[in-house]
Every structure is written in structure tokens, then in C-alpha cells.
Structure 1
């Protein structure tokens, strides 16, 4: 956990209390609760046409913070990140998908629009369980440990406690203390980094075999383009290299293929070249986020990879950024030249050892196995 010295100093506030809010976490709620508070403070400040709020009190409805908790956790849950056995955000997400006919990978705008148009209280009913403990347990560094929500709410009102917020209105809203409001407003960016770093550590502990956790916490504003990687595959095909669709076993031509993530993008959340292969355009629609049957499709996938590696190793391509794509292979522990020189059995064995652990990890968390119905 980041300690108080990593948070901006204040000569009037007990910042050490704030730095301790994640010292005891058994679920993801505190991280997303704090993020939700910061989101709403930022929205308030922007509405006031002032990025740094004047030092006055603002009240935030707990249910609005809970909505931000769902919105901010939506993407990692879409990527099937495990939040822990006691965490209910995944269950709530599934219920909201059904209630509002939301897409699995809904973005912030889609979620905000759905929640804004709720007229029958579905949101409040669904999210109310999130508010049973987290608004109170978050304050434990200030109030001390207690199982009594009422005690914490009462303690939060006492000036000597210097709590970040007070719980008011029959425990339906919080009021940010003036000094804390100013501190949070000035330091929004640093505090978000503080939250995300601690959230990363929390999720890493609960997903010890997932090497891609860092890329699953935040949705990128725009997914990285595949254009440069496709250009390289086009170059290979135009040079007369035989590239075979692993699933249909048909030869690929430059104008009639899609780039497929062999292990689905939803699991790896990246476009690293060692996981890409040209495939028949019908395959992506059929395969979707499923895992390919390894025994059926690894052979042609691995051979396609070797052909691409040979193109890169010979370095005869004029494709822009090809050097950056070579970097995709650096973490594999062998040189491009060594991979390029492998025979069929060696390259298949290498890729089996590389890919199968990801296949097993993804399968264990619910990704289905797919086979092409010819």
C-alpha cells in the first residue's frame, strides 16, 4: 500500500488516515467507493466552472456513488477479472445487464444513459446492498474499528474526528468536509493514481496467474488499431508466404481475412503479434470471445507465426513501425532468429508451451472452448 508520504501533504488534515483506507480490504468496494466520490466531486467542480472547488460543503447521494462503483468496475468484470468470493459487483452487473438489456462491454456513456432513464427504482434496489457497509468501513481509519454503522455515522459528525465526510440524512448521503473537499479537488489526479495502484495490487493477489491484470482495470478510450499488424501480414502474403487459416485450413489472400486473437482479446486485452493470425472473416463472428480448440488449431497457428517471424527476422519489410512489432516477441525468451529457424515440431512445441497456460487460465475462469463447424 502507498503510505501517507506518497500522498500530498496537508498541515491541517490527517492525510495518514486517508492513506490507510485500503489497509484492510476483503472486497473491491472501498476502491470503487473512493473512485465514485472523486468522480462526483470532479463533476460538481466542472458544473461550477471551477476545477478546484471553493472550500464549502457538498453532499453526495450514496446511490449516486454506488452507480459510479458499477460503472468503474464494469470493464474489469467484462474481462472476467476475479474480485474475490465475497464481492457482489459481478452479480449486480449481471442483474443490470438483464434489467436494462445492456451490452456485455457497455461503455460509460451507455451505462450512464441507462441509469439516468430508470424510472421504477431498479437501480436503487439493485445497488442498495453495496451501501450496507462500505460508506462506514471506509471511515475506519478516522473512527476506529466498529461493527456499528450508527456509531460510525455519529462519530463522523464530530469535529475532532476530522473525517473525510459525514454520514447524514438517515444514512442516505454523505457530506464532504470543507477542508477535505478542497484537498480532494486539488489532488484528484494523484488520488486516482493512489486508488488504481492499490486496486491493481488487490486484484493481482486474487488473480495470481493473470499476467494481463494491469490492462484490465481501465478501459482505453480507443482500442489500439490493428492496421500496422495487418499491413505486415499483407506484406508476408504478397511476398508469396503461405498463410493458412487455422480453422478452415484454407489459404489466406490479402483482401479476404480478419486478424484473429487466438487467445481472445477479452482475456489478453492487447494486440501482441504472437497471439494474432489471419483467419477467414466468418470465423470471428463464430468464435467471438471463445477459446480455440488447441489440439485442432495450434498447428496452423504456430506455422503462421513462424512465417511472420521469418519476415520480421529478415527485416526486408518497409512497413512502418515493424521494429515496434518485433518488440512484441521480446518477452518470449528467444530471439526472432531462433524462432524463424525452428522446424514444424519445434515451433508447435514452443507455441504449445507459450499458449496453453493462457488457455487453461482463461478456461478456468469461464471462457468456453470453441471448434469450427465445417
Structure 2
């Protein structure tokens, strides 16, 4: 009598799980690229000298892992409330970029680390924001979003770029200070930026959260994963990202030479685009659904996380992981691009309205930066 009762219960459960997996792939198609993760892990064991192929495959493999990280983070944050959810998003929202940068930091590839940080800020403020304006504007004539939130994130970004500008400027004076002075300055600035970001989260999530309410009338309710599976996915995918990132960093230098790219270009363009792939998918689909508030929040909020949280954390961690402490001293071109991108994002989002040509202007500025960096690669910063 027990078996007949068990039979019908197992089949629907398996069918439901399978159906859920299919629906997830339909919702986020890049997850289907997860098949490349075991491929790159096996190839690294069997052909460790195939640097170019390992580089290309690891780039493809990181994309679905970033998408899964994003979905799992959203699910965990949705179950823990605004305050804890905000902290989780700050810590895990840019986990892909953080893990890649940690692997490069451990390998002593500071130029790749700094290029990926600068590239992530510029990519989020110009490419992701511009793409959202363009795709949303092609479907909707005019879109509205909360310009107070946009201004707030732009101000945070501007503060972070000034903090990066200071150690970069002092290296250009007639009698530049010793490396130890630059390291101490960067350490102090890193701690200051983390504190400012924590206070900014308190301001936007607690004391003045009514100012950051969405102006969109679209339905913001989305079906999220249960908390248990989300945490398991978060842990497993984090481990896989770490493994694939180590392969990526180990192959990037040789592969970049074979492909005619510098590590700076790879970090500024390739790593930034790959790391933000999942967030871009969400931002672009939200803009098409007339939820431009969400798109602007993802683009500028993610850039602020990189500038005020990820970069300072890497400076602090470099004292324990890297060959020597990392500074916040970037090459002048990177600093210029970050400042221009921040000012452009502030100007383009100042009115609280979005249209497709606004996106064209942002994407054109990003293309100018990318082409310039490809043609004129920077020298390694000291």
C-alpha cells in the first residue's frame, strides 16, 4: 500500500524541479553556458599550456556563474529584509569582479586589478546605463526614474574618484613621495571610503529611504528562490568562480599577447563586461519592462559598490594576500575616464527622464574610451 502512494509523489517532484530549471534558463538564457564550466576545468588539467583557449573558455564560463550569483544574491536578500539585504548586495553583488581581482592580486598582476576596477566603474556608468536607456527608449517613448537616487549614487562615485585622484596626482609632482607614503595614503583613503559607503547604506536604507522610492508603476514582484537552495547555490558557485578565475588570471597574460591585447585592455573591457553580464541582463530587461528605476539603480549602484567597497577592500586585503600592498594610484588615463564617466552619468540622469538617444550618447562615450585604450595602452602604474 505504501508504494502506490510514493509513486505519484516522486514523479511530480522531479517534473517540478525540471520545469523550474527550464523556466530559469528561459528567464536568464546565459545560464545555459554553465556547460563550459566543467569544460574549462578539465581542459586546465589536460592542456595547461593552451592559454588562449583557456582564456576564452574561462570568459564564457564566468558569465553563467555571474548570473547564478546574481539570482542567488537576490533571493537571499529578499528573505532577510532591507538592511541585511543591502549589506548582502554590497558584499555579493559584485562578487565576480571581487574574486577575479583577488586572484589577480595574489598573482601580483596589479595592472590587471586596477584596470578591472576602473573598467567596472566606467562600464556600469556608461555601457550598462546607456544600454538601459537605449533599449528602454526604443520600446517606450519617455521613461521616468527617481533622479534623487541617481544623484546620490553619482555623488558617491564622484567622491570615490576624487579619492583615487589624490594618490595618482602626488605621483606626478616634481618630488614624488616614497612608495611607503603612497601605501599609507591609500590605506587611509580605503578605510575612509568603506566608512562612507556604510554610512551611505544607512542613509538610503534606513534614515531617508523614502527619498529612494521607485517612481515606476510596474509590478516589482518577482518570484525568487527559496532561502535554503539560494544559500547552497551561493556557496557552490562562489567556489566555482574562484576556480575559474584562477585559470583566467593564469592564462590572461599569454593569451592577451596572442590576441594583440594588453592586460590593461583585458581588465578594463573584457573583465568588466564579463563580470557585469548578469547585472546587465537584469538592467536591460527591466528597462524594456518600463522599470527604469531598477536599471538606473543597478548601473549606478553597482559602480558605487566597486568604487567605495570593492576597491578599498582589495587595498586592505593586499596587505595579507599580494606580494606587496596595493595602492589607489591609477594611471592618469584611467582616472580621467572614471571622472568623465561619473560626470557624464550625473548629467545624463539629472533630469529623471530616459530616452533612446540618451543611451546612444553614453554608449558613444564608452566606445571612445574602449578604442582609445586599445590603441594607446597605458604603462604600468608604480
**TM-score of the alignment, normalized to the shorter chain, above 0.5:** no
> Counting helix residues as a fraction of each chain, which structure ranks higher?
2
> Counting strand residues as a fraction of each chain, which structure ranks higher?
1
Q: Report which structure shows greater RCO (CA 8 Å, sep ≥6).
A: 2
